[in-house]
Amino acid sequence: MMNRRKLLQGIASGATAAVASPFLPGIANAASGSIGKSPKRVIFFLQNQGFDPATCVPSGMKNSGSLANAKLPEPIEALEPYKERLHIINGLHGTHTSPSHSPFFGALGGYRGGDGVAPSASTIDYELSKILPETLLPHLCIGMDSIENMRAKPTVANLSASGAGQPIFMQSNPNLLYQMLYGGISQGDIRKQHEARSSMFNRIEQLASAKGDRLPIPDKQRYGQYVKGFNDINGLRERLGSVSEHLMKFAPKVDDGYANPEFETDWHDRLLDLGISALKSGITSVLTIGSGRGEIFGAWKGLGVEQQGHNLGHMKQPNNPIWVKIRQYNSRMLVKLMQELESVPEGSGTMMDNTLIVYTSNNADYQHTSGKTWPVMLLGNYDGAFKTGCFTQLDGKRPINALYTSILRASGINVDRFNMSEKMAAKFDSSTGPLKEILT
């Protein structure tokens, strides 16, 4: 795979040359609707506080079968018109992740995690960002929370990681994310703020690099990671600037909901719009959405839900009007993702034909869980790789790692396990390789 630092050298200075570059298949396809081998993309949508199987498994379905004649439960009824694209999976487990309140990085990593515990390996979303065709922004993470938390902590790292001890931050303030993605093509205050932040980051990188040379070797290495973070930010701004003409076609309209949100859901909706724009423009191929940001917090006052945070996790989800509202809101977001990707031609079909959406919770089935049941919904067949329009009931003996192995296999990587040693597998996995029940 081409080094991203060298990638910039292969892009001509004009936007037209960048769009046509063979090193940017995502940009090229989004720009021209070209036919040929289409790039794939994966979206992970994790709701905190658990995903009770009774809120997604149709009533009376105990065994695997078609969803054609089944009625979806009220919390996910918005997906009823899309049942032919849906695959509901029950019976995976994550007991080895010790979820309880949340395994944090362990949910997408398939390993033991916890509050304040650093990631022990990379997560599946990051691994896919390395495998899928090169993009300007390989992996975008957005996190939705209460308006107070999103303002106080616009970036947090709880779900994704690029390696052991290397967390990836989620973007939670849509104003800052808009500046990062589209500040270079904006006008007025947004452009001024973008330029001011760019100047500041450049200066910080220069100062940090100079000061770091005077540190002892161990500290210098740690400090180098800090400097690299600013270098990556500055490099991304430069890369996005090189395709500014292309990005203008996809930048969402800035409205009052950015600067003056009435509820947290105003920001949730705009974060989703930015994530969709990043996918449709081809600047990213992996999107991770953390509703609740992998924590025990989160708020949905915009839905008329006054309770928030940890309290929500202690409520039973089935037939609970509060959780019905939250899950229905998620389902509408899933529908919007599908509809937006369906609207963009790609190859002989649309972007949605080459996309997989993975919806689950970072907390298995409920708060304070052992992780013995971890429901998942898949939307889309990923260019024909996954079965759709069905429900699969597993026996509870295969871990979530097997699902991630399946996605890697469908992405062209021939692996039998993901983040699980043979010793661990002997205890937590009854088989090897992908989940044959869900692949075509």
Decide if pLDDT at 202 tops 70: no
Are the C-beta atoms of residues 247 and 181 closer than 8 Å to each other? yes
Residue 256: CA count within 13 A, CB half-sphere: 3
At residue 297, what is the residue type? F
Residue 286 pairs with which residues in a beta bridge?
42
**Strand order across the 140-144 sheet:** 65-66, 390-399, 86-93, 376-379, 355-361, 41-47, 286-291, 140-144, 166-171, 155-163
Over the chain, what is the mean pLDDT?
86
Residues 6+ apart with CB under 8 A from 246: 15, 18, 19, 27, 30, 31, 281
- Residue 289: pLDDT band (50, 70, 90) is very high
Model pLDDT for residues 389-440, shown as the tens digit of each residue: 999 999 999 999 999 999 999 999 999 999 999 999 999 999 999 999 999 9
φ and ψ at residue 386, rounded to 5 degrees: -115, 145
Q: Name the residue with higher pLDDT: 369 or 211.
A: 369
Q: Which two tokens stand for residue 407?
A: 């996605």
Query: What is the b/e burial string over 396-405, where b = at least 16 CB atoms within 10 angstroms of the residue's CB?
Result: eebbbbbbbb
Residue 392's contacts (CB-CB under 8 Å, 6 or more residues apart) are: 64, 87, 88, 89, 90, 91, 435, 437, 438
- How many CB atoms within 10 Å of residue 433? 15
Domains of the chain with bracketed CATH: 4-173+243-428 (3.40.720)
Terminal Cα distance for the chain, rounded: 28
